Amino acid sequence: MNSKRLARWAMATLIGVATMTSVSVSAETATLRVSIEGGAFNSKFKFFDASEGCPGYNDIPGAKDYLGSVFASDKGADKDVPLGEPVQVFLFRPKETFSISAAGGEKEIRRRALQVVLSGDATLRYTGFDNKVPTWEAAGEIDVLPAIACENDEQPEVGEDASSDESSNGAEA
């Protein structure tokens, strides 16, 4: 009898701990909906943790900075990302692999990527490209910068080639 009671108590405790853990984990992330105008055949948005500076762009599962990917489409896809932490978003198009390697690898990826910081749910829509650097529309609780922001401690000013006409930093409130 006592072993059954102990087993029920242990199970109830385990369920309670698991519930509290899942609530705290979900409270520390927000949903970023990414899309690309017109879609992008066989392409993915890849996400990298930039909280400790510029990430390595190793995208195998389990890599230190790799947070995963979603397929790029006009309709969009959701990705949960950490709240208040810089995350780099890179649109990977397999047909551009050679040109990325030839132009400097990580530095070229960084030049083509965006760095976002979410304070709540948001959307990011790639609307086009200027010299392979994305232009975008952003809405929700999001700050958007070029990914080169990780290269120095100061926040760089966003240039015209990397932002939309919506606002100076590419994000809408």
pLDDT digits (tens, 9 = 90+) for 132-145: 888 999 999 999 99
- Whether 171 has a pLDDT exceeding 70, the answer reads no
Tens digits of residue pLDDT in 35-48: 998 888 888 999 99
Q: Does residue 44 form part of some domain?
A: yes
Region 146-169: mean pLDDT is 55
Residue 137's contacts (CB-CB under 8 Å, 6 or more residues apart) are: 123, 124, 125, 127, 164, 166, 170, 172
Q: Does residue 140 form part of some domain?
A: yes
Q: Tell which residue, 91, 107, 89, has the closest CA to residue 144.
A: 89
Give the domain extent around 33: 28-162
* Domain total in the chain: 1
pTM above 0.75, yes or no: no
**Token pair listed for 148:** 């080169």
pLDDT score of 169: 42
On the CB side of 91, how many CA atoms lie within 13 Å of its CA? Answer: 27
Q: Does residue 36 form part of some domain?
A: yes
Q: How far apart are the first and last CA of the chain?
A: 60
Q: In 22-113, at which residue ranges do the beta strands (DSSP E only) sit?
A: 29-36, 44-49, 66-71, 77-82, 87-92
pLDDT score of 22: 39
Q: Does residue 47 form part of some domain?
A: yes
Give CA–CA dist 133/117, Å, rounded.
19
Q: Does residue 33 form part of some domain?
A: yes
Q: Does residue 57 form part of some domain?
A: yes
Contact predicate 36/73, CB 8 Å: yes
Residue 59 pLDDT level (bands cut at 50, 70, 90): confident
pLDDT score of 154: 42
Region 87-96: mean pLDDT is 84
Q: Does residue 128 form part of some domain?
A: yes
pLDDT score of 106: 81
Residue 104 pLDDT level (bands cut at 50, 70, 90): confident
Region 90-111: mean pLDDT is 76
Residue 149's contacts (CB-CB under 8 Å, 6 or more residues apart) are: 86, 115, 155, 156
Tens digits of residue pLDDT in 143-154: 999 998 888 744
Give CA–CA dist 35/170, Å, rounded.
15
Q: Does residue 19 form part of some domain?
A: no
